[in-house]
Amino acid sequence: MMIVLVLSLVAAGCGSQNTNNVSNGQNSQQTNTQEENIKTRIIKFAHNGPNISEHLMNVAANKFKELVEKNSNGQLKVEIYPAGQLGDARTIVEGIQMGTIEMGDVENGPMGRFAPAAMLWDLPYLFRDIDHAYKVLDGPVGDKIKEMYLNKGIRVLAFNDGGFRYFTNNKRPITKPDDMKGLKIRVMESEVMINTINAFGASTISMAFGEVYTALQQGTVDGQENPLDLIDSQKFYKAQKYLSLSKHFYYPRQYIISDKVIAD
């Protein structure tokens, strides 16, 4: 779906082409003229996941780049900016809204600022399992929430599976609600997530993803919560003693594109 929408930029920008049968010499001359007139459009694609080639976010982004550039015959070039190079998640979304960033893969944390109903995805223990999550995200509820971004200049192309989230901390195993009391936990920029973990008995600290490892090392926070792939790729296990398989939040990500790109 992302590829179809992005390739629509090509149709909008290149105009009609002469498809009449002509001699080989005329074909060659026409092709050369068309190649000279082609203008490559840059699509900046940003995310704040790890800058690790084998991480799933980069595997997906690079496959997207490969398919778009191949199928647009060079008229679209995708530049990938990982690891928050263009800012944290909220900055990426704001850039897409303004049209200074064309596309992004962002977590749900800041999305409630643009479509409050998106905070639904941040409720704890919302889904039984992955299949349940897929059915809701790809069904009428997901479609309704995607529509709410349209008047904000943002188009959600598809939901991406970020997985369930789990607690790590340095103080003690978390096996019951009382074990959360007194722990300082880093949380994404989500009002629902912050209120939930405070209700669990912990105290929350919101900070950018890129600052988490240092905060764990320095003891600014006792723990954090993330999907297993990020806990592993960021090596949080080097700064944390305990992992709790809590699955307390599901973590949808969103591929989003600026409406200004499509309008142009």
CA 44 to CA 112: how far, in whole Å?
23
Using a 10 angstrom Cβ sphere, with 0-12 exposed, 13-18 middle and 19 or more buried, the burial of residue 178 is: exposed
66/88 Cα distance (integer angstroms):
25
Residue whose C-alpha is closest to residue 35's, from 93, 75, 92: 75
The pLDDT, as a whole number, for residue 40 is: 92
Question: Could you list the mean pLDDT of each consecutive 10-residue stretch along the chain, which spans 264 residues?
Answer: 54 46 52 60 95 92 96 95 95 96 95 95 97 97 96 95 96 95 95 96 93 97 97 96 97 95 80
CA distance 112 to 168: 25
User: What was the pLDDT predicted at 25?
Assistant: 52
Q: Compute and round to an integer the Cα radius of gyration of the chain.
A: 22
User: How far apart (Å, rounded) are the C-alpha atoms in residues 9 and 13?
Assistant: 6
* pLDDT at residue number 264: 74
Amino acid 21: pLDDT: 45
In this predicted structure, what is the pLDDT of residue 23? Answer: 45
Residue 39's pLDDT is what?
Answer: 82
Helices 140-147 + 130-137 axis angle, to 10: 50
What CA–CA distance (Å, rounded) separates 250 from 243? 17
* Residue 236: strand, helix, or coil: helix
For residue 3, the model assigns a pLDDT of 56
Q: What pLDDT, on a 0 to 100 scale, did the predictor assign at position 263?
A: 76
Q: Which helix (H) or strand (E) holds 194?
A: helix 191-200
Domain ranges of the chain: 2-164+251-263, 166-248
pLDDT at 221: 98
Strand, coil or helix: what is 237? helix
Backbone angles phi, psi at 222, to 5 degrees: -85, -25
Q: For residue 74, what pLDDT is reported?
A: 87
Collapse the DSSP code of 166 into the 3-class scheme (helix H, G, I; strand E, B; otherwise coil) and give the result: strand
Alpha helices in 72-147 (DSSP H): 89-98, 130-137, 140-147
Task: Report CA dihedral (227, 228, 233, 234) to the nearest 10 degrees.
Answer: 60
| Fold type of domain 166-248 | D-Maltodextrin-Binding Protein; domain 2 (3.40.190)
pLDDT for the residue 78: 97
The mean predicted confidence, pLDDT, of the chain is 89
pLDDT at 124: 97
pLDDT digits (tens, 9 = 90+) for 41-88: 999 999 999 999 999 999 999 999 999 999 999 899 999 999 999 999
| pLDDT the model gives residue 17 | 44
CATH number for 2-164+251-263: choose from 1.10.510.10, 3.30.70.100, 3.90.180.10, 3.40.190.170. Answer: 3.40.190.170
